[in-house]
Amino acid sequence: MDSPILEPSLYTVKAVLILDNDGDRLYAKYYDDTYPTVKEQKAFEKNIFNKTHRTDSEIALLEGLTVVYKSNIDLFFYVIGSSHENELMLMAVLNCLFDSLSQMLRKNVERRALLENMEGLFLAVDEIVDGGVILESDPQQVVHRVALRGDDVPLTEQTVTQTGYHHPSSGHD
């Protein structure tokens, strides 16, 4: 816990995670080599989930890293940084991610809606953090840049029908 003078750097975020209420990974993006293998990542996610899913306390120190988190219905959002990092910066990332998704999903931030809009999630995170650097912290800007077409029938209407039930042979319709 003893911290030296921070090396000034834009690299702030070590990972962004979204888990479901079983602790399974819905989304995970690691920006450095803290957990190089999938196995280590999953173990870390399991540990995080066990320590956080029962409490709604927003911030914790785990495995020497600062974890800020937020849960909504059946989703758990995590932003992870070094324990020397400014906690409020990590919080800014978490809030931006959550608010952006909330707008994109029309306040319907829950597992099912998220799974139906995975491309929106992928694009949003890509606009918020780039390689560990905070790219944008204003949810309005993020939603604007993701620019999912605003037609009233969301993409999901169609994509859902194909998901998981799609066979290459039925590809011609």
Contact characters 93-122, other proteins, x per CB under 8 A: ------------------xx--xx-xx--x
> Binding to other proteins (CB under 8 A): which residues in 21-60?
25, 27-29, 38, 41-42, 51, 55-60
Asked whether 125 and 77 are in contact (CB, 8 A), the reply is no
In this structure, the number of other CB atoms found within 10 A of the CB of residue 119 comes to 13
User: Given the complex with other proteins, which of 102 and 159 has the nearer CB atom?
Assistant: 159
19 φψ region: left (φ > 0), alpha (ψ -120 to 50), beta (else): beta
DSSP 8-state secondary structure symbol assigned to residue 38: H
- Closest distance of CB 113 from other proteins, Å: 11
- Closest distance of CB 108 from other proteins, Å: 13
> Binding to other proteins (CB under 8 A): which residues in 59-98?
59-64, 68, 86-92
Closest by CA to 109, choosing from 133, 132, 76, is 76
